[in-house]
Amino acid sequence: MTIAATDQKLEPRRFSITLIVVIIVVSLIAGGILGYSINTFTLSGRISDLQNQVSALQEQVSNFQSTSNATNQNSTYIMGENASLAPLYAEVKDAIVVIRGLTLQYDVFRRPYYSQVQGSGFVYDYEGQMVVITNNHVVEETINITVTFINGNGHEAAVLGSDPYADLAVLSTNAPQSEYEPLEIASSSTLNVGDSVIAVGGPYGLAGSMTTGIVSALGRTITAEMSGSSYPIANVIQMSAPINPGNSGGPLLNYQGQVVGITTAIVSDSQGVGFAIPSSTVLREIESLITEGSFNQHPWLGASGIDMTYEIAETIGVDVTYGWLIVQVTSGGPADAAGLQGGTQQVTVAGESVIIGGDIIIALSGTRIKGIDDLSTFLEENALPDQSIDVTIIRNGETVMLPLTLGTRP
């Protein structure tokens, strides 16, 4: 009986253990399912976030590529440490022309003969009228003028207008409309020393030649001997891009393919010293050159002089080592009418003959004048004929200001 009673007590215990085991197993399974669901939901959210981020990045890359392609059509293409200007050249080459003509010459026996002259130019769209812009000295006193495009097609040309003081000329041609691929002209007023520039032209007849360099200086004045023109030229760009005979009249470009100048002269036997007419001069004169055939708004001071130096200041006995020393005043000119005085005595300074005794111009309308470059640039950029300006001078060691009314270059 005792044994039977013991067996009856074991049955409930076995049932309880089984129930506990079942509960534990079910709990584990339920916990696993719940954990899996939570992890799956969390992972799904993270995957969705990552997908959104990837989509956003792809959109940004696409936008960047579109903007980059649009921006860089006329810009430098960078490849590692190397830069390629080939796309820019492809954009501008069809606008460049070689200009040829004949000028009358005389031999030692005064017998006449014709000599060929050659230069460069580029196509420009002036209010729907296609013209070719070049230097005046390329076509001055020239007959039988032709322009030849990069594809070899040549056409007759004629001078529409010219300005020897700025060494500019504008030509018309009989080329068909399909030949013209005009360039855009940007204002050179935004140029700074150190900016990269590109010269394209036909040196020695080698059409479509490209060279590169930087802006070396601004506001230079070059002499008639340097420019190949009959007159000195004010407010020009000095640059290091190599140019040679035949480059004259070709465009000086920025890295967006816009014209910022017109190559005009080199210093003989120099290493990378060239000059270009600034595009701001072209933009100021183009309408008058095309519609009137000339530009007659160059202001005139009516005096000649030299730049001051320390040695000249020591000789004169003044403490001003900058400025423009007046050597001669043109009788009846603006400077003469204003009471400016020229030199009176010739002396030798640092081994050179100098005429002293004249007024020293140190400012024009409050703008400091260090020498002829500053003086010429101020007049070209800020003054017009018949305009009144204040001239600050040093006379007998004292500072004097005189009003002066500018004239027109005769």
> pLDDT tens digits for 149-201?
999 999 999 999 999 999 999 999 999 999 999 999 999 999 999 999 999 99
How much is the pLDDT for 162? 96
Per residue in 120-150, pLDDT (tens digit) is 999 999 999 999 999 999 999 999 999 999 9
**Residue 172 annotated among the catalytic residues of the structure:** no
How much is the pLDDT for 320? 95
How much is the pLDDT for 265? 83
* Mean pLDDT over the full length of the chain: 85
Ranges of CATH 2.40.10.10 domains, the chain: 93-179, 188-291
How much is the pLDDT for 75? 46
How much is the pLDDT for 153? 96
**Residue 269 annotated among the catalytic residues of the structure:** no
Give me the catalytic one of 248, 279, 280, 376: 248
Ranges of CATH 2.30.42.10 domains, the chain: 299-408
| CATH code linked to domain 299-408 | 2.30.42.10
3-class SS string, the chain: CHHHHHHHHHHHHHHHHHHHHHHHHHHHHHHHHHHHHHHHHHHHHHHHHHHHHHHHHHHHHHHHHHHHHHHHHHCCEEECCEEECHHHHHHHHHHEEEEEEEEEEECCCCCEEEEEEEEEEEEEEECCEEEEEECHHHHCCCEEEEEEECCCCEEEEEEEEEECCCCEEEEEECCCHHHCCCECECCHHHCCCCCEEEEEECHHHCCCEEEEEEEEEEEEEECHHHHCCCCCEEEEEEECCCCCCCCCCCEEECCCCCEEEEEEEECCCCCCCEEEEEHHHHHHHHHHHHHCCCCCCCEECCEEEEECCHHHHHHHCCCCCCCEEEEEECCCCHHHHHCCCCCCEEEEECCEEEEECCCEEEEECCEECCCHHHHHHHHHHHCCCCCEEEEEEEECCEEEEEEEECEECC
How much is the pLDDT for 1? 39
Give me the catalytic one of 137, 163, 280, 373: 137
CATH topology of domain 188-291: Thrombin, subunit H (2.40.10)
How much is the pLDDT for 271? 76
Give me the catalytic one of 162, 163, 167, 376: 167
| pLDDT less than 70: residues of the chain | 1-83, 224-231
How much is the pLDDT for 410? 82
How much is the pLDDT for 226? 64
pTM of the model as a whole = 0.75
CATH architecture of 93-179: Beta Barrel (2.40)
**Residue 331 annotated among the catalytic residues of the structure:** no
